[in-house]
Structure formats: structure tokens, C-alpha cells
Amino acid sequence: MLYRTVQTHLATWLELTFDRRQGAAGPAYVEREFRRYLECGILAHGFARARCAECGHDFLIA
């Protein structure tokens, strides 16, 4: 639920919080961390390959 909320409302929140039209910008790390959070769980942004020691099954962890 949190992921979907951030995904849906991030652009609006950033625009309202950091009024770029007035030249006022918040700390860059705030936007960067939200964007990195949204990348979490997407295999295209990186993953680890793991193997079950008992059955030998390989799986990916985003």
C-alpha cells in the first residue's frame, strides 16, 4: 500500500513541497531516496541470484 501511494503521488508531492517555480528546492537526497524506493523490487534495476542449499533451486531477489 505504501509503495502504490508513493508511486501515485510522488510527482505531485514533490511539486507542492519543493516549489521549483519559485526557485526553492528541498534537499536533493529526499527526491533521490523516494525514486530509489520506487526502483526497489524491479529486476531491471538490479538483483541477486540465490540458490537453495537443500533443493538446488535458483531464484532472483530484486
Cell digits of residue 3: 509503495
The answer to whether 62 and 47 are in contact (CB under 8 A) is: yes
Domain ranges of the chain: 2-61
Q: Among candidates 33, 41, 44, which has minimal Cα distance to 62?
A: 41
43-55 pLDDT tens trace: 888 889 999 999 9
Task: Output the nine-digit C-alpha cell for 59.
Answer: 531464484
pTM score, whole prediction: 0.62
**pLDDT at position 61:** 87
Give dist(CA 2, CA 42) in Å, integer: 16
Closest CA to 17 of 36, 29, 35, 31: 31
Helix, coil or strand: residue 18 = coil
Mean pLDDT value across the chain: 86
pLDDT in the model for residue 53 = 92
Whole-number pLDDT of residue 44:
86
